[in-house]
Amino acid sequence: MSKVANFDPIIDRFGRLHTNLRVSVTDRCNIRCFYCMSDEHVEFKPRTEILSYEEIERFVAVVARMGVNKIRLTGGEPLVRHGLSRLVARLAALPGIDDLALTTNGILLEEQAAELKAAGLRRVNISLDALSEATFRRIARRDGLDRVLAGIAAAQRVCFDKIRLNAVAIRGLTEAEVVPLARFARDRSLELRFIEYMPLDADGAWQTDQVLTGEEIRRLITAEVAQLVPAERPDPSQPATDFAYADGGGLVGFINPVSQPFCGDCNRLRLTADGKVRNCLFSLVEWDARALMRGGGSDRDLAELVRDCVAAKKPGHGIDDEDFIRPDRAMYQIGG
């Protein structure tokens, strides 16, 4: 690997410094959450089009030398890709990478938690949209709640630096789950984040009136569980607005991309499983890192591709704009 240690930081035309990369390692998944994938006839990329671990490591090494220091592995479901702990170990060993995290649905986490922690994974986000079997199955369109709960318990046993639960909030479906989820996380000293339902479902069925806002959820938790008060924001670029229980019982965060966009402080880039670089979750344009790497491009070429991608970044995702066009790719194809 050629060295690119002297490359300048990645700054877009709005002055946003990019230090955070989300890497999708697969578009495959073992459940079929409707906000992410279709239930049947899902088209996955051929394995030859998916980046190898060596290609992912090369890309991360290049952007690390451009100032990226936070990596989050996503999918699809990242734990369905064979030998993920090997990739974790390679990325954890790269100079400049200070924070290595994973987002998972938790179904395979019980079996893999210990080896992932040993490989260098420090933080894990676990999707948990519901605690009732019926609602879990309506969302995931598969069984598996018991395995998710076992995965959460395993994550706590191996003592990751931070374990966070992510819950997608959907009006007409998850209101009754809010209080049980809040109590579940509070009782186990786990951080909980609610994420507004976004227009990235594969079926294209998303409607604005399905968005259960963070403000509504916060009022419900305050009324039914305990008072929430604004918490400090140690990282201005974080997507969540955090609240703490007034009695010291933990944190609840709200990611409100629809009702309260946070694009002004965005510092994130995305690498899809098939090697496309995206400057926004809702981008309509991609930059092909896989073609460049497999075509003999140098690390300097790769760095310039990333810089071109960031230079084209818009001020915001534009969900509320009248001319908003949703991406052709669904969440599982982009990386959660």
In the chain, which residues have pLDDT < 70? 1-6, 199-202, 260-262, 317-324
pLDDT at 327: 72
Query: By CB neighbour count within 10 A (0-12 exposed, 13-18 middle, 19+ buried), where does 318 fall?
Result: middle
CA distance linking residue 287 with residue 273, whole number of Å: 13
Say what the pTM is: 0.93
pLDDT at 3: 45
pLDDT at 322: 66
Per residue in 157-213, pLDDT (tens digit) is 999 999 999 999 999 999 999 999 999 999 999 999 999 887 666 677 778 888 899
Tokens of 205: 């069925």
Structural domains in the chain, CATH included, are 20-334 (3.20.20.70)
What distances in angstroms separate CA 100 from CA 50, 91, 145, 222, one per listed residue? 21, 8, 26, 33
pLDDT at 135: 97
CA distance linking residue 5 with residue 73, whole number of Å: 23
Element (H, E) at 174: none
Q: Looking only at Cα atoms, what is the longest distance across the chain?
A: 59
pLDDT at 117: 98
